[in-house]
Amino acid sequence: MLYAVVMSRPLPPLPTPEEPPRAPELLQLRTAPGEPCLRADAARNRARLLEAAARLIAEHGVAGVTMEAVAAAAQVGKGTVFRRFGDRTGLLMALLDHSDKQLQADFLAGPPPLGPGAPPLERLRAFGVAVLYRSAERLDLLLAAQPEPTRRFSHPAFQALRTHVVMLLRQIVPDADCDLLAQTLMASLDPALIHHLTRQRGMPMERLEAGWTDLIARVTGTEPPD
């Protein structure tokens, strides 16, 4: 089972308020065009707010994360939270950014089969399995932080994943419309669908994993692994 290979590793700790966060590695998943780098004091404030939000989630779940609650936990004014993240969705997306960067690091530079060094078909299988299990572990946060439907597919985090799938498909089925095919494959990894299948219909994750492997075999015209 691929899950044993691509099972999500623990998230690295959030930066402590006493020191600015390390520079993001690889792609800047959520940096808006033209956004300046944060000053050291602003970076410390951002880290303090994210640490407070993560603590609230651990204690009360996603529902416990409001702009007012985060401001109180971080001992800052509510306006500071709004200036830094815009709204509650922006705050939750910043928390997810921490996880997104780890997944991105794994598929761009991690060990195979998720990372470089394995055939593209194996990497595509491993990619879907990794996204499935990591999404299942953070469903409540993912669903709460999803952008509105008109912005979902243009969000930098989604675009980074889609671009990776397009790259792999072009190596496996170069004659296909890989851009459109990648959108179709990504739809099967949508957090709302995973929530419906696992929590509302009671499907085990192993069935979703097998379904992804079967889907990849069918759209690429290849044999599924033994």
Give pLDDT tens digits for 54-75.
888 878 888 888 999 999 999 8
Q: Is residue 52 a contact partner of residue 70, using CB atoms and an 8 Å limit?
A: yes
Q: What pLDDT, in 10s, does the model give residues 124-139?
A: 999 999 999 999 988 8
- Kindly report the pTM of this predicted structure: 0.70
pLDDT of residue 90: 85
Of 87, 172, 99, nearest to 130 by C-alpha is 99
Tell me which of 13 and 141 has the higher pLDDT. 141
Per-residue pLDDT, 65: 87
Query: What is the tens place of the pLDDT at every residue in 84-112?
Result: 899 988 888 888 886 788 899 999 999 99
Considering the chain, what is the average pLDDT of its residues?
Answer: 83
Q: What letter represents residue 184's amino acid?
A: T
**What's the CATH class of domain 41-89?**
mainly alpha
Question: How confident is the model at residue 61, as a pLDDT?
Answer: 83
Residue-range domain boundaries for the chain:
41-89, 103-220
Q: Which two three-digit tokens encode residue 72?
A: 């109180």
